[in-house]
Structure 1
């Protein structure tokens, strides 16, 4: 395992919690190296607002080396028996499970994710890895031409791309890796993973586990870095496909960079997901689900969270009363404390941006139901914030906050709810709460989103394709569709005379 050093921070009870952080490296071809340029980044613990580590950043030479080694390793990996690829991925899944406590601790230090939700994500990452291990020996083509009817024998060959660049986000770094790397590897590709500079420690641990599982050198490479490293990676001529999770501005740059060579790209971007609460819903369950999803993971810093509640006008007051009670019960504190259900946002700049959006929403006429301010404590803590009387066309209803803010808007008919839900440029997730499943299915068919989850169905189930439309991205992660993203299909035909 990586070398460890101790860092400390103060928790809500003014005691000292110790988190061992791995020494971060560029992980290239089975070796731990440092950038020749000496570039580095001061990582700030969002719980304290203080620097807790200095980490190296991939430079141009590091990116080139990683891609070159991944390209060299590709031919051997693609020819590796599918059963062997499956075996290695299953070992990796077991190792993720075995090191879940360490994964949770690193998450608390990296981005402030409470251990309560971090343990669930670690288990989910292991499950995604196992699922795609099972696809490794199920790469099959199809017969497309008949000698009797077409005069040819035609068939298809699904084949891996080669080197795939995986650019992952900071809010759930291991989960973001698990949604991409196992599928790419099972299909026979090699990968170069670029974690965010905000969350470099999980990538270091992941690479430790990859090597312990026995993957050949060069098949998996990890390069912590900034946007400059990401740009160098996605534009590299030996990178054959890109999978990116993050925001629209970066996605736009990636698309522009890849356009010159028509390089295929999978984009998992932001969302402004609506949770439609109909008048016949179980209100206790609906409100608990919405508040738990919006606040209980990482202070609202998730792309598919139900950040808009569309509430039937007849139940608005009942919903607001329940929400006040639920928000009052949220416990903010040290993410390493199992009692903590709510942590900080990731950085000072994130906090400033979110607070600005809250202030503008109130100025635009929204009513504060709960929160609205910064917590009186070290670090980047914002009060769980709920707004009602939100105009569907306002900034807070149209733009992803990526923070602990829920906006409530009322509606009177199903058609109005559908119109409001579809009124943003996003299209990632939508939610429906009702006891009438016929009504639920009818509304689900009209919602413009990559997925619709009814009555608390869980997000990110590996067997279901996940991915958005509009400015929420394109392509899929999860399910068979997520596997096929990493295979390109070749047609073969021979004339039969």
Structure 2
């Protein structure tokens, strides 16, 4: 048996609670064999039966909210309020996809003009697809990938993050209990090398990865070499732009939610706060810093906790190194800046100002509870700062004049923009980015389109 890399290490205590055996190459290939054999059977299951199954999955998430929230609190330190919210959203994603599947998967008639006959487009499954999921949203990330694809008729091999073996196991149990055949959704405690082996296999038709830029590059390169479809949702360094006429108190409230939800460990979190004009900067920064200082850091299972531990001690050290790098180069710590004493992978919520382009914090993603303040002279400079990054996932713009906010938003290089609200995610809104934030879209009804054969059928007149 190969070395166990799937381990529950409680980030609040640093204690190893449980390990899970890593799959062997033979086990991975046997899983693929079963999945490939199941693809035709699952494809032929009527849509109404698939819908009933996915509705039962949604009900399972709703009824087991407390249990499921506690699992990810122990695995990756998610604060209780964020954890229960994620479980709810995961159920809602399944319910939304089940509700809209009939209309989305209906044949689309094509206009033949003056020609006789008829033609239409039909969305059909491609077969076996691989999902590679991250640790920061263990349930949600799987839900938005798996729900539309199971309804479409695809068969899934799922590799979760090594930090999340318990939630990976319980997700599989939920699908199977709801009626998804065991060979149609399989959780694999696989290695990166085994995922590469699956992508190389002609029986696999595509791969979806949410994760780091490095992981996305590796998977995208492998998929391209094998002419496989890939969906990649990678990092972000999202701008939060405040215009001079914005409601500052509301912008601060949105900024706190947008930056510090999930202890700052979100791809689409507001990470760079770009404040237009001296007056805007002087009003926003003190109020924001005061709110940050009031955030409660502690036990993720305590309902009053705002900031839990980061996923690992290594992650916490990495974030602190980013802070120290900026401070050593001349940045100002407005609040926070130092890790607390005691056990656990905690990083004190921090606000940095005076960051310059020479510092890593200027444009790189800081995946933790750190907000960076920027002062821009006008809209042009704000847009230039916002776009001065290799990433392009999300953005938000705040102004009492919606037309002015849209004017700025139209100039941003991003896959998503929120106007006068915190960046976030919901079942009905498409999610995805541009540049090195990846490509492809999930959520809304767009998740049905990524791994389907859009077959054109023409009937002569």
TM-score (norm 1): 0.89
Residues 486-495 or 327-336, more deviating? 486-495
User: Whole-Å Cα distance in 2 between the matches of residues 156 and 216 of structure 1?
Assistant: 28
Q: 1:229 to 1:45 in 2, by over 3 A?
A: farther
Give 1:408 deviation, angstroms. Answer: 0.5
Equivalenced residue count is 459
SS of 1:198's equivalent?
coil
Could you tell me how far 1:435 is from its partner in structure 2?
A: 0.8
1:32 equivalent in structure 2:
none
Query: Counterpart of 2:446 in 1: which secondary structure?
Result: helix
Distance in 2 (CA, whole Å) between partners of 1:420 and 1:210 is: 44
2-structure distance, mates of 1:40, 1:315: 48
Residue 74 (structure 2) aligns with: 109
* Residue in structure 2 matching 1:141, options 88, 104, 107: 107
CA distance in 1, matches of 2:231, 2:122: 21
Equivalent in the alignment of 2:265:
301
Partner of residue 29, structure 2: 64
What secondary structure does 1:465 align onto? coil
Measure how far apart 1:196 and its partner are.
Answer: 0.5
Shift of 1:38: 6.2
In structure 2, distance between residues paired with 1:460 and 1:224: 28
Aligned residue for 1:266, secondary structure, equals strand
**Within 5 Å, which residues of 2 pair with 1:150-229?**
150=115, 153-229=118-194
Partner-residue secondary structure (3-state), 1:43? strand
What SS does the aligned partner of 1:216 have?
Answer: coil
State the alpha-carbon separation in 2 of the partners of residues 436 and 129 from structure 1: 36
Q: Deviations over 1:178-227 (max 9, x none)?
A: 11000111111111111111111111111111121122221111113342
Name the residue aligned to 1:440: 405
Shift of 1:387: 0.3
Deviates more, 1:267-276 or 1:255-264: 255-264
Distance in structure 1 (CA, Å) of the matches to 2:194 and 2:345: 27
| DSSP-derived class of the 2:231 partner | strand
Q: Which has a greater percent of helix?
A: 2
Q: Quick one: distance in 1 between partners of 2:38 and 2:99?
A: 22
Deviations 1:312-362 (A, max 9, x none): 222212212112211221111110111111111111221222111111111
C-alpha RMSD of matched pairs (Å): 1.7
Q: Deviations over 1:255-312 (max 9, x none)?
A: 12112221000001100000001111111121122122212x3221110000100012
Q: How do 1:232-271 residues align onto structure 2 when only pairs under 5 Å count?
A: 232-271=197-236
Is the contact made by 1:63 and 1:232 (CA closer than 8 Å) also made in structure 2? Answer: no
More displaced stretch, 202-211 vs 427-436: 202-211
**Structure 2 match to 1:409:** 374
2:216 and 2:5 mapped to 1: Cα distance? 24
For residues 144 and 86 of structure 2, the distance between their equivalents in structure 1, rounded to whole angstroms, comes to 11
Q: Among residues 9, 14, 19, which one is paired with 1:44 in the alignment?
A: 9
Q: Give the TM-score, by structure 2 length.
A: 0.96
Gaps of at least 5 residues in structure 1 are 1-35
1:326 aligned partner = 291
CA distance in structure 1 between the aligned counterparts of 2:201 and 2:291, rounded to whole angstroms: 49
* Unpaired segments ≥5 residues, structure 2: none
Moved more, 387-396 or 213-222: 387-396
Mapped partners of 1:454, 1:382: distance in 2: 30
Map of 1:276 onto structure 2: 241
> Is the Cα contact below 8 Å between 1:73 and 1:219 reproduced in 2?
yes
Q: 1:155/1:420 Cα in 2 relative to 1: closer, same or farther (>3 Å)? A: same
Q: 1:77 aligns with which of 42, 48, 51?
A: 42
Equivalent of 1:379, from 316, 341, 344?
A: 344
User: Is 1:194–1:222's contact at 8 Å kept on the other side of the alignment?
Assistant: yes
Secondary structure of 1:205's aligned partner = helix
Q: Which residue of 2 aligns with 1:27?
A: none
1:234 is displaced (CA, Å) by: 2.9
Task: Indicate the SS of the match to 2:100.
Answer: coil
Deviations 1:75-97 (A, max 9, x none): 11111111111000000000011
C-alpha separation in 1, matches of 2:423 and 2:356? 28
Distance in 2 (alpha carbons) for counterparts of 1:205 and 1:41: 14
Asked if 2 retains the 8 angstrom alpha-carbon contact of 1:107 and 1:202, the reply is yes
1:11-30 correspondence runs (5 A): none
Q: Distance in 1 between matches of 2:108 and 2:358?
A: 48
